[in-house]
Chains A and B, each alone.
Chain A
Amino acid sequence: DQQVKQNSPSLSVQEGRISILNCDYTNSMFDYFLWYKKYPAEGPTFLISISSIKDKNEDGRFTVFLNKSAKHLSLHIVPSQPGDSAVYFCAASGTGTASKLTFGTGTRLQVTL
C-alpha cells in the first residue's frame, strides 16, 4: 500500500523556467511533509518541509504548497537551474508514526540548458 505517491517518474524543464513536482498521500494521519533531493551516490538531502497547519512554505527558490482537502502537495522551483537536476522525494510523517518518514518513489528532474 503506497501511502505517498509521486506519479511522475521524470520531469524535464528548461533552465530559468518553473519546475513543479507533485505528490499525493492517502493517510489522513500525516501532518508533516518534506521534500528531499538526492544526487547519485549520495544520501537524500533535506530541502524544505511544511506542517499541516500551513498551506505554503517558502525558502529561496523553493516553495512547497499543501492542499489538505485534496491530500496533495507540490514543490515549485523557480527559477530552475542545472544544479537542480536530481531525484526529488516527497515524504510524510504524522501522529503515531514516531516521526518515521514514509517516502514516495521519487521524481527525476532534469533541468536542460
Chain B
Amino acid sequence: DSGVTQTPKHLITATGQRVTLRCSPRSGDLSVYWYQQSLDQGLQFLIQYYNGEERAKGNILERFSAQQFPDLHSELNLSSLELGDSALYFCASSLTTSNSPLHFGNGTRLTVT
C-alpha cells in the first residue's frame, strides 16, 4: 500500500460530460502529480502541485484542470470529455520537489462512451 488514495476507482461517462478525480497524498507528502496512461502507453505527465501551488505542467489539455487544496488533497477536473480521454489516471505524491521517488495510487479508470 503506497499510502496514496484515489477515488473513484472506475468512472464511466458520456462524451461532453465533466468529471472530477480525487487524490489524497501520502501523509507528509507535499507534492502531488497527475499522470495519464492510455492503452499500452507509458505514463504521460499532466501536472504537478507543491503545497498548493502549481509547479510544473506537462501535456495537459486546456479542457483539463487541477488544484491542490490546503489539506493537500488534489482534484483533477476533466471537461468536455472525448472518447480519446478514456485512460487510467494516476496520482502520485512525494515529500519534496527535488529528486525523490514518487509513490503512486492505484489509479482511476475513466471510460468515455
With A98-B48, A98-B56, A99-B31 already in contact, the answer to whether A106 and B42 are too (CB < 8 A) is yes
Question: Number of A residues contacting the other chain (C-beta, 8 Å)?
Answer: 26
Contact partner of A104 among B6, B42, B92, B94, CB < 8 A? Answer: B42
What's the minimum C-beta distance from B109 to chain A, rounded to whole angstroms? 9
Q: Is A25 in contact with chain B by the CB < 8 A criterion?
A: no
B residues near A105, Cβ cutoff 8 Å: 40-42
Number of contact residues on B: which range applies? 20 to 34
- List the B residue with the shortest CB-CB distance to A2: B42
Contact partner of A43 among B4, B42, B45, CB < 8 A? Answer: B4
Q: How far is the CA of A46 from the CA of B93 in the complex (A)?
A: 12
A residues near B103, Cβ cutoff 8 Å: 46
Is the pair B42, A45 in contact by a Cβ cutoff of 8 Å? no
Residue positions of B touching A, CB distance < 8 A: 2, 4, 6, 31, 33, 35, 40-45, 48, 55-56, 58, 90, 92, 94, 96-107
